[in-house]
Amino acid sequence: MVRQKIQIKKIDNLTARQVTFSKRRRGLFKKAQELSTLCDAEIALIVFSATGKLFDYSSSSMMQLIQRHNMQSEKSNKFGQQPLHTQMGSSNHGMISKELTDLTTELKQLMGEELQGLGMNDLMKLEKMVETGLSRVGKTKNEKLFTEISKLKTRQAELIEENEWLKQQAEKFDCTRNAMEQGSSVESMTNSLGLVHCPEEEDRAVSDTSLKLGLPFSNGN
Amino acid sequence: MVRQKIQIKKIDNLTARQVTFSKRRRGLFKKAQELSTLCDAEIALIVFSATGKLFDYSSSSMMQLIQRHNMQSEKSNKFGQQPLHTQMGSSNHGMISKELTDLTTELKQLMGEELQGLGMNDLMKLEKMVETGLSRVGKTKNEKLFTEISKLKTRQAELIEENEWLKQQAEKFDCTRNAMEQGSSVESMTNSLGLVHCPEEEDRAVSDTSLKLGLPFSNGN
DNA sequence: TTTGCTATATATAACCA
DNA sequence: TTGGTTATATATAGCAA
């Protein structure tokens, strides 16, 4: 029996913790549902047990709620510390989400009204209409998402290419420095840029290079 | 006073509904926190009021939890069990389309059979079923796409960071090289490293260091 | 709107089966 | 694991300020 109020800290006993988790989790989900029903709120609840098991509830679509959440929390974010492309992405999702919501609502209403006095054949036709409508929304949504993915991939390819080039440059310079330290004159070194063979260069990790690069400056830092 | 147990249905009175929302919401969030603490669970809770206001809580990072949720529900989904990378590209589109088609067909057939002898109420229920089915397909599809987008963005952020760092290194080298090209001997140049004035270098020194420590590509992939 | 205030309703800790 | 059973702790509906 609950003779004492418990402390809100991690329960030591494993069994007790599991039992409590199970019971309180149910309670929490029940409360969430009740709140949703009573007050017409939209709720998403995600719970991972300590063992990694997933429990979730959402009053409507989990995805839509999550997207809405992303939108809202981004809006309250004064300055996007994030690069442009990520901002574009999210707002894009928001637009899609709204579109989807609007159209779905419209279709549902349409269907609800029509249903009042129609026969089977008409119902079948309506079903078709709804399917078509949903399919069109889905298609649009897909197109936007795929466009975004495509853009991201393109950008990524550019970045990778740029990085590769930069790394190569870095390696060349690195090589140059080695040559210098071996006593080459500045002139010959300059001329041999990119031609001096660097034995350790090929499979050297970039981090190694970076260490070398950073070394001469370490005094100054 | 609570003389009677209330029905779990939307509260008619607006004021009462708002008050209840406020109170129950707090209760819900409190319970969520307690469960998280007591049982070492990870919890994300998103609530939108009927007026669209957002309230949220998460025991750790909302984004991480959402990601985890996406992954989990994808894993438990009988359709998509392949790793993400194989789902990428245009084949992804085809697969999803097929999924959608299959399920829609199934639901249509189901609906067709049932339609023969049912009344309006049953039809409404069926409508709900269809909606749910479609919504589940859409949800799965969305989750996959969003997961992919998310991964792409993460990778992109890494690339940008790497890129920045490389550029900074390149600038330093440029500086060094410029000094060299002005005709210093190797020895004097080496000695003067770190003393040569690099106009853009000072205010980057600190961030350079941190970047060096945390660079994602340090493993050389 | 948002607070307190109770009297009840509900949740649940500890225990048992 | 899961599902009861209490005795208590907590939440909250209705009201008032």
DSSP string, A33-75: HHHHHHHT-EEEEEEE-TT--EEEEESS-HHHHHHHHHHHHHH
In strand D, the nucleotides that come within 7 Å of a protein beta carbon are 1-3, 5-16
- The model's pLDDT over A134-165, given as tens digits with 9 standing for 90+, comes to 666 666 667 677 777 777 877 788 888 888 88
- The model's pLDDT over A65-81, given as tens digits with 9 standing for 90+, comes to 887 787 676 665 543 33
Nucleic strand C near CB of residue B85 (< 7 Å): no
pLDDT of residue B121: 52
What does the pLDDT profile of chain B (221 residues) look like in tens digits?
677 788 888 888 888 888 999 889 988 998 999 999 899 999 999 999 888 888 899 998 887 788 778 777 655 554 333 333 333 333 444 554 555 555 555 545 444 444 444 445 555 555 666 566 666 566 666 777 777 777 787 788 878 887 888 777 777 666 655 555 444 444 333 333 333 444 444 443 333 333 333 333 333 33
Distance A64 CA to D9 C1' (A): 37
CA gap B18, B62 in Å, rounded: 26
| Cα end-to-end span (Å), chain A | 64
Residues in chain A: 221
Mean pLDDT for chain A overall: 64
Distance A48 CA to C9 C1' (A): 29
CA gap A36, A65 in Å, rounded: 13
- C-alpha torsion sign, points A22, A27, A33, A36: negative
Average pLDDT of the segment spanning A26-50: 91
pTM: 0.46
Q: What is the DSSP letter of B88?
A: -
> Residues 80 to 119 of A: which have CB under 8 A from any B CB?
83, 85-86, 89, 93, 111, 115
- Parse chain B into domains and list their residue ranges: 9-60, 120-179
**Measured torsion, CA atoms of residues A87, A89, A91, A93, in degrees rounded to the nearest 10:** -150
pLDDT of residue A194: 38
CB atoms under 10 Å from CB of B194, counted, come to 15
Between residues A22 and B4, the one the model is more confident about: A22
CATH number belonging to domain A9-60 = 3.40.1810.10
Number of separate helices (H) and strands (E) present in chain B:
6, 2
